[in-house]
Amino acid sequence: MKQRASDNNGVIIQLRGVKRVYEVGVDEIHALDGVDIEIRENEYLAVMGHSGSGKSTLMNVLGCLDRPTEGSYEYGGEDVTEMEDAELARIRNERIGFVFQSFELLPQMSAIKNVEIPLLYSRFGWLGRGAKAKKSLQRVGLEGRMTHRPNQLSGGEKQRVAIARALVCEPSVLLADEPTGNLDSKTTKSIMELFDQLHQQGQTIIIVTHEGDVAGHAKRIIRMKDGKIYSDMPAERDKAANASSGAVPEEVQA
């Protein structure tokens, strides 16, 4: 990987006592309420929880799309909470790749032009961007669909374009928000196999999901409720713990 954002202990992301409070009229909504997390290089992590659990807010904070109200957030040893907006934008562009449920592709552009977009804003990538976008699309298995527009692609192909776009700047962390939410079960399996391959190649991956089958691909699962982390363990232990407790799977509850 081009980007090496981890510190000497291999920690890429460290949250300590992170709170995010929103004011709604006279009320305060504690979307995050004292979250502590360490994420190391090449981890494959899933974040689970019901609607309102805080998992989407956590994703926004991790992705530098939102700032904590309290607490500290270090990315690669740098204090993100002290950064100016321009510096946060640089981290979002160069160090974090985003994959969204709704793909977020520009309909008038071809697949390769969609993948080029992050390179236009990168300090390193705008020269030779066509070749870099082509390489990224090849990496996700879309060699033959580069000139196709989104309306000419299947749902799975659209998500592969979105993943290629997220990877094109060679980010340290790939952050995926419900990446299979708009896909059928067969396509979901294919996309998750792609995430597995990327992890095997050394990519750090964080997936926010309510689907147990999707989270099961990760090596570590964090479960959230009421803005707090109530479970953080390896996937096998998480599976055993939830099976022994007789808990209803998250995808059934959500």
Q: How confident is the model at residue 3 (pLDDT cuts 50, 70, 90)?
A: very low
Kindly report the three-state secondary structure assignment for every residue of the chain: CCCCCCCCCCEEEEEEEEEEEEEECCEEEEEEEEEEEEEECCCEEEEECCCCCCHHHHHHHHCCCCCCCEEEEEECCEEHHHCCHHHHHHHHHHCEEEEECCCCCCCCCCHHHHHHHHHHCCCCCCCCHHHHHHHHHHHCCCHHHCCCCHHHCCHHHHHHHHHHHHHCCCCCEEEEECCCCCCCHHHHHHHHHHHHHHHHCCCEEEEECCCHHHHCCCCEEEEEECCEEEEEEEHHHHHHHHHHHCCCCHHHHC
Nearest partner of 49 among 39, 58, 38, 36, judged by Cα: 58
Q: How confident is the model at residue 19 (pLDDT cuts 50, 70, 90)?
A: very high
**Mean pLDDT computed over every residue of the chain:** 90
pLDDT value at residue 254: 39
Distance from CA of residue 56 to its chain's centroid?
A: 11
Lowest mean per-residue pLDDT among 24-28, 34-38, 153-157: 24-28
- Taking the CA of residue 27 as centre, how many other CA atoms within 13 Å lie in the half-sphere pointing to its CB? 4
Q: How confident is the model at residue 165 (pLDDT cuts 50, 70, 90)?
A: very high
Show the tokens assigned to 7. 């510190």
Lowest mean per-residue pLDDT among 9-18, 68-77, 91-100, 118-127: 118-127
Q: How confident is the model at residue 82 (pLDDT cuts 50, 70, 90)?
A: confident
Q: What is the mean pLDDT of residues 48-65?
A: 93
Going by their DSSP bridges, the two strands 44-48 and 27-40 should be labelled as unpaired
pLDDT value at residue 121: 87
Q: How confident is the model at residue 95 (pLDDT cuts 50, 70, 90)?
A: very high
CB contact at 8 A, 209 and 47 = yes
Q: What is the mean pLDDT of residues 66-82?
A: 93
pLDDT value at residue 248: 46
Nearest partner of 57 among 18, 12, 86, 102, judged by Cα: 18
pLDDT value at residue 253: 42
Which of 136-140's residues contact partners 24+ apart within 8 Å by CB, and which partners? 136/164, 136/165, 136/167, 136/168, 137/111, 137/112, 137/161, 137/164, 139/164, 139/167, 140/164, 140/167, 140/194
131, exposed or middle or buried, with CB in 10 Å at 0-12, 13-18, 19+?
exposed
CA distance 95 to 89: 10
